[in-house]
Amino acid sequence: MLSNETVLLKCFKFWYIGIWQLFFISGSWSQFCYSTSVTVHSQNPLLSYYFIKSLGFSRYEANAAAAKLNSVKAPKNPDLVIKFFREMGLERTEIKKLVSITPRLLFSDVNRTLKPKFQCLREVRVSGSDLVDLFLADGKALYNAVGSHLRSNLDFLRKLVSSEETLVKLIKRSPYLLAVNGPKRFEPKILLLQKFGFSNPQIEKLILQKPRILLQKFEWLEEILHKAEKDLQISPTSGMFKYGVLAVIPIEVRILRALDVFTRVLGCKPEYLISNPALLMLSLDKRVIPRNQVLKVLEEKKLNQKVSFSRAMYISEPMFRSEFVLPYKDEIPNLYESYVTCVSR
């Protein structure tokens, strides 16, 4: 039986191909996504209060973060963790994001747990927003032993690139590469690329351009390579083969990431995405995620609740700002600044 992801991918491909053939030849938000009536109650009001006072959480954000913790016990000295992050050069907003993603950070032992990890990450200059991206990829990353993830991943990736500078570029392009069991996931794909005639310099260029190749399933990459060979009729021995692979990859990667964000992060139902396939082609980082954050803040403040999610995603940038951001600039001072920062990255 096909998984939801497979069904969605096939439905979207059918829709996408139809649109492009045409070009060349010639439910509601509350039902499918997060409910606007949900209220998060904290089982640990002291911890929620700490989040609000120390990191500027809203009450809703603080309760939601506290609810992620299995234990109701407060951390012994969370100030030490926050101080450590500040010493590492993180801004308050970045610390807030990290704690929001992984509240267990406040329970960490700075010397035994955090410092060894940060020392490892510093080697490839991962900090600030890159560190936040790493936690978005896998919030458990800093709880794994250095040797099992971070260190082994760095050692393996160093073998694939020609210089430390290239390694830094690779990690900054995709911090996710440090959040998985690298050697186990990466090596089979590297061997497959070599089997199809990719030289080491070609592999380096390919993963630097499309680092997410290493994070996809083996079968996915195998299918991409066969498509480039059979559908585009390019021989693996041809110098054009790499470009054929690059031509096939973008739409596949984009759809898979969009499916993950819409279903896992935003909580949309498969039926909703099948009914609104164009959502999957919107920019996640420049449009979907920043706009969804605005909607969440307005929901929390009980402002502008009756809104169609799809319409909020589809309308133009000037129209979105005029309807959902600018009217609340005085009432919610940080809303405009945070939104503009996100869409300008």
What is the pLDDT confidence band of residue 319, given thresholds at 50, 70 and 90? very high
Q: What is the pLDDT of residue 11?
A: 53
- What pTM does this model have? 0.54
Of the chain, the percentage scoring pLDDT greater than 90 comes to 11
Query: CA distances (Å), 294 to each of 312, 335, 343, in order?
Result: 10, 7, 12
The whole-number average pLDDT for the span 46-55 is: 87
- Give me the residue spans of the domains in the chain: 282-343
Q: What is the pLDDT of residue 40?
A: 46
Tell me how far apart the alpha carbons of residues 271 and 279 are, in angstroms, rounded to a whole number. Answer: 13
Tell me how far apart the alpha carbons of residues 220 and 209 are, in angstroms, rounded to a whole number. Answer: 17
Helix-then-strand count for the chain, H and E:
19, 0
